Amino acid sequence: MKKPASAAVAAVLLLSGVSAATAASNMSNRSASAASDTLTLSDAQQKTIWKDVSRHAAAQNAPQDFNAAVGTAIPAGITTYPLPRRATRDVPAVKPYRYAMLQDKVLIVNPSDNKIADVVNK
């Protein structure tokens, strides 16, 4: 009778250890992939983002006095969208971000505060 009880206790401890390790791993992955107010994409990544996003996006008009620069909050009238699946597959770093397209620029936007993290030019 002691052997089955010991095995059950060992199984519970083992499973709870695995669960705790899995939870800790998931938490660290989530924080590592969170959006920030700055994102530095290589020229190749920017070209890929432009190609992937421009297929889906319609350009919006920004207010006359708006300067699309990293760290700037986007105006209230600009709508952001989730990045296309292809873009997040090709450039995984942009997965937690949203985007807006203005004339010949793709703005990569931090969804938590609507600040521009990167600007991709045509």
pLDDT grade for 23, boundaries at 50, 70 and 90 = very low
Residues 23 and 46 in one domain: no
Residues 28 and 41 occupy one common structural domain:
no
Instruction: Check whether residue 9 and residue 48 sit in a common domain.
Output: no
Do 40 and 15 share a domain, yes or no?
A: no
pLDDT at 13 over 70: no
Say whether both 50 and 109 belong to one domain: yes
Whether 54 and 113 map to the same domain: the answer is: yes
Total number of domains in the chain: 2
Looking at the fold, whether 9 and 51 belong to one and the same domain comes out as: no
Instruction: Write 79-88 long-range contacts (CB < 8 A, 24+).
Output: 80/107, 80/109, 80/111, 80/114, 81/57, 83/49, 83/52, 83/53, 83/108, 84/52, 84/53, 84/55, 84/56, 86/52, 87/48, 87/49, 87/52, 87/53
The range of the structural domain enclosing residue 3 comes to 1-32
- Chain segment 77-113, per-residue pLDDT in tens: 899 999 999 999 999 999 999 999 998 899 999 999 9
Same domain, 112 and 57: yes
| Same domain membership, residue 60 and residue 12 | no
* Residue pLDDT, tens place only, 42-62: 999 999 999 999 887 888 998
pLDDT in tens, 28-40: 333 346 777 778 8
